[in-house]
Amino acid sequence: MSAKTYKNLIGGEWVGSRSGQTFENLNPADTRDVIGVFQRSDQRDVDDAVAAAKQAFERWRLVPAPKRAEIIFRAGEILQERKEEYARQMTREMGKVIKETRGDVQEAIDTAFYMAGEGRRQFGATVPSELPSKFAMAVRVPHGVCGMITPWNFPMAIPSWKLLPALVCGNTCVIKPAEDTPLSTLNLVKALVDAGLPKGVVNVVTGFGPEAGAPIVESSDVRAMSFTGSSEVGRLVGEAAARTFKPCSLEMGGKNAIIILEDANLDLALDGVLWGAFGTTGQRCTATSRVIIQKSVYRQFADRLIYRAQRLKVGSGLDESADIGPQINQQQVETTGKYVEIGKREGARLELGGKRVTGPEYEHGWFFETTVFTEVDPGMRIAQEEIFGPVVSLIPCENFEQAIRISNRIPYGLSSAIYTRDVNRAFLAMRDIDAGITYVNAPTIGAEVHLPFGGTKATGNGHREGGMGAIDFYTQWKSIYVDYSDRLQRAQIDTGE
Residues that are catalytic: 251, 285
Farthest-apart Cα atoms in the chain, separation: 88
Q: How many CA atoms lie within 13 A of 39 on its CB side?
A: 25
Beta bridge pairs of residue 371: 391
Determine the Cα–Cα distance for residues 265 and 385; give it in Å rounded to an integer: 29
Quickly count: other Cβ atoms within 10 Å of residue 341's Cβ: 11
Distance CA 74, CA 85 (A): 18
Angle at 366 between CA 364 and CA 371, to 5 degrees: 135
Instruction: Judge whether 268 and 419 are in contact, CB under 8 Å.
Output: yes
Distances (CA, A) of 351 to 245, 279, 297, 354, 373: 50, 19, 17, 9, 6
CA separation for the pair 194, 204 (Å, rounded): 15
Q: Residue 43: which H helix or E strand, with range?
A: helix 43-60
Partners of residue 234 on adjacent β-strands = none
- State CA 142 to chain mean position distance: 22
Kindly report each contact of residues 469-473 with a partner whose C-beta sits within 8 Å and lies 24 or more positions away, as own/partner. 470/115, 470/161, 470/162, 470/165, 471/118, 471/122, 471/140, 471/165, 471/169, 473/165, 473/224, 473/226, 473/247, 473/249
